[in-house]
Each structure stands twice: as C-alpha cells, then as structure tokens.
Amino acid sequence: MPEKETLKRARKDRRAGKAASTQAGEFVREAIHHVREGKHGARSTKQAIAIGLSKARRAGVKLPAPKPGSTSEETREKAEQDVRMAGRRSKPSPARSAATRKATRTKGPRKRRRRRARRLARGPAVTVDGGRCRGSDATSNSSRVRRLRAPGCARTEGTPTSSRPRRRRGC
C-alpha cells in the first residue's frame, strides 16, 4: 500500500494535468526510498522502478501496460493485471506478509554487517604467542586466548585486540 503522502502528491499532479508518467514518478520515488531503507526484499534500482510502477497502476494512475515486444510477456501480463486491480482493495495473504518479513530480515546492509561480524567472531581463536588453540581452550574465555582479526597477518600477530590500531579495510 502506498503512503498517504505519495497518494496526495500523485493526485496533485493529476489535478495539475501532468502526464501519467509524472504521477507514477511519485510511486517510483517512494519505492526507491523503501529499497534504501531495506523495507522491500529488492536490491536494485530496476526492481524499485518496477515496484513503483506496479503500485502506481494499482493506485489508479492511467499508466498503460507496455506494448507486446517491448518487454517480456511476463512483465506485460503483470502490468495488465495491475491495471485491472486498480481501485480494488484486498488485504495481502498472511503467507505473503510472512515471506516479505523473512526477506527483509535476511537481506539489507545492516543484516550483512551483523552476519559478517558474527562470522569473524566465530573465526579461529589465536593465542598471544600466535599459535592456534585446540580443544576446550579455543572456546574458553581465558585471558591467554585472544581473538585476532586475521591469524596470518603480521600486523596483528601477537598483539592483543584492545591495543591494536583500527583500520577500515584489509587486516
């Protein structure tokens, strides 16, 4: 469902006599913002544009489906379906809502950062003298064992995690 502000801006454009593509631009703008926020499972700008055009057609913007041959048959059929669905209100099924929630939990920059941090934290434990810990020592929280960023890196070898200078990339 488009936001109220987006619908209001699109209606204002229609009253001003602007083209259907200009009215649809408001919905595309909203979709791009949602993708950046991580609300959709989409990743690319192309997907955001497709979502925006679909929302515009369903909201009643007189945007025709593309002509045969200009896009894939699947895309054209979806656009025709959106035009037919204009004005109809239906609640999305619980399965679809759950799938959307699951997609937004597994994707997005924030989730990727957290997943990468967990993977680094689970990496091999290294002692201060540089040797790998074996057995129960590897999982213990003893002061001898330090988790280093890259076990083979000469820059971090043998230095405790807290006193090591921070760098953005590499080891």
- Does residue 117 lie in a domain region? no
Same domain, 11 and 77: yes
pLDDT for 142: 45
Same domain, 30 and 81: yes
pLDDT for 28: 93
- Does residue 158 lie in a domain region? yes
- Does residue 91 lie in a domain region? no
- Does residue 40 lie in a domain region? yes
- Does residue 157 lie in a domain region? yes
H runs (alpha helix) in the chain? 4-15, 20-37, 45-59, 73-85, 94-106, 109-121
Task: Give backbone dihedrals phi and psi of 25, rounded to 5 degrees, phi first.
Answer: -60, -30
Same domain, 139 and 74: no
Looking at the structure of the chain, the number of domains it has is 2
Which residue from 88, 23, 89, 32 is spatially nearest to 56, judged by alpha carbons? 23
Same domain, 74 and 17: yes
pLDDT for 69: 87
Contact 45, 32 (CB under 8 A): yes
Same domain, 79 and 144: no
Q: In the 8-state DSSP scheme, what is residue 91? A: P
- Does residue 11 lie in a domain region? yes
Q: Which domain holds residue 27?
A: 4-85
pLDDT for 125: 62
Q: Which neighbouring-strand residues pair with 13?
A: none
Please list, in sequence order, all residues whose beta carbon lies within 8 angstroms of the beta carbon of residue 58, skipping any fewer than 6 positions away.
Answer: 82, 85, 86
pLDDT for 122: 80
Q: How long is the chain? A: 171
- Does residue 96 lie in a domain region? no
Same domain, 78 and 19: yes
- Does residue 168 lie in a domain region? yes
Per-residue model confidence as pLDDT tens for the chain (171 residues) = 788 898 899 899 999 999 999 999 999 999 999 888 888 778 888 989 999 999 999 888 988 888 888 889 999 999 999 998 887 777 888 998 898 888 877 777 777 788 888 888 887 665 555 555 555 444 444 444 444 445 555 554 555 555 555 555 655
Choose the final residue of a domain: 85, 100, 133.
85
Same domain, 11 and 73: yes
Alpha carbon distances (Å) from 1 to 45, 57, 142, 156? 19, 12, 53, 51
Choose the final residue of a domain: 85, 106, 136.
85
